[in-house]
Amino acid sequence: MKILLITQFFAPDITAAAFRLTDFARLLVKRGHEVQVITAYPHKAQVEAIDDAAFGSEGIQISRCHIQDVVGSGARAYLTHYMSFVRGSIRQGWKIWRTGWRPDVIYVSSPPLLVGMTGRFLAALFRRPWVMEIRDIWPDTPVAAGQLSQDGRAYKIGRKMEKYFYRKANRLICVSQPMSEYLAEETRTPVTVIYNGVSLEDAEAERQNPEKTLNSKTILYAGNLGHLQELELLIQGFSEVCRNPELADWKLHLLGAGAQLEMLKQLVQELDLKDQVIFHSAVSREDAMRMMQDCGLLYLNLKLHPTLAKTIPSKLFDYFLAGRPIVAGLAGEGRQLLESTQANVVFNPGNVDELKQAIATAITNLSNLEQNAHLNRELVLKRFTRDTAVDQLESVFQELIK
């Protein structure tokens, strides 16, 4: 089977989408399929050199396009950024068409939602079916993040485009059951749930350096430092929890980058927590996993919003793989998974009082939580692996090209 994958995010970018789609491409090639990828040059990681020849040696052909940076804020700045990928990806698709290569199926991963324009155009050009993957519901997710007004013109146009792409795609893929139910209400296009998950190679990789990267009396957040994570609430809550003399030797580590980084650093200064709260720049998947395995508690929160409750943060699956207790502010299907192992403490997102209580409870009962923490790892390896996801992906593609 020949597959054309279109995604704005791909390795060596360090994002959940890049990890998911790079893993998918590699697994599809290992199963004997031919994969070409249209993607952007890295824009979510500091990369000195891009070695796409390495992907070529694996059997993955990469076509990259330059995209414009987000300059300023507001809908116009992001629209310019996303449209630059649409234009560039269509040009790359046209170049591939001129070589005579023809895919059996086109696989388009969003967000951004506008990548559906590329999928629609290239599906017509190649005269092939296309599958649209919905990892986040747009334009409602930018509304939840405060980046877009629900009363504005951009939102209304986005909603029309959303419904158009859902209707024109031959098949839809999403990443949670509640999201599938939402899509079923919006369109008659068949929907398949293909969860995020973990790589078996990551799970089986042996640790090269036995030295611990973090003290066990550490709370670690690893991921995007953005608006939706509400990490200012974590810092505020932690500042009060660590006033307890019995908990004063605990530290909070924040690993990653994002739009809120400078604001969070300023908050740490204002609360005089520079010795208790430590920031780390983004690191490789392997180094991040080592830090997650070494910490005392992992932390995760997603802003309370009806749209966000329909998804499961991809970071949750990495946390499960680390096999550590988790303190989390989540709703929906993610909360159900956390509660199923009895190794985690869950609170209502955005509630600072519950957050403080959850941290204190987790620290006090850490030994009991650790006894069940292996169940987090067992859960993700049993139900949420990349191999299982690619099994489903293959089935979707094969049904379309019969």
Q: Which of 192, 198, 190 is nearest to 176 (CA)?
A: 192
For the chain, report the end-to-end CA distance as a whole number of angstroms: 11
Do 118 and 93 contact (CB within 8 A), yes or no?
yes
Strand partners, 172: 132, 191
Phi-psi region for residue 272, left (φ > 0), alpha (ψ -120 to 50) or beta?
left
Residue 210's pLDDT is 58
pTM: 0.93
Task: Tell me the C-alpha distance between 325 and 344, whole Å.
Answer: 5
pLDDT along the chain (402 residues), means of 10: 98 92 98 98 78 91 93 79 96 98 98 97 98 96 88 92 97 98 97 96 67 82 94 97 90 94 97 96 90 97 96 97 98 97 97 96 96 97 97 98 88
Do 153 and 173 contact (CB within 8 A), yes or no?
no
Annotate 89-113 with b (16+ C-beta within 10 A) or e (fewer). bbebbeebeeeeeebbbbbbbbbbb
Q: Phi and psi (nearest 5°) for 36?
A: -115, 140
Residue 306's pLDDT is 95
Q: Phi and psi (nearest 5°) for 135?
A: -90, -30
Task: Tell me the C-alpha distance between 305 and 263, whole Å.
Answer: 22
Do 341 and 323 contact (CB within 8 A), yes or no?
no
Q: What SS3 state is found at 53?
A: helix
Q: For residue 77, with 0-12 CB atoms within 10 Å meaning exposed, 13-18 middle and 19 or more buried, which class applies?
A: middle
- Structural domains in the chain, sorted by start: 2-197+385-400 (3.40.50.2000), 205-383 (3.40.50.2000)
Q: For residue 240, with 0-12 CB atoms within 10 Å meaning exposed, 13-18 middle and 19 or more buried, which class applies?
A: middle
Residue 79's pLDDT is 85
Residue 53's pLDDT is 87
Residue 69's pLDDT is 86
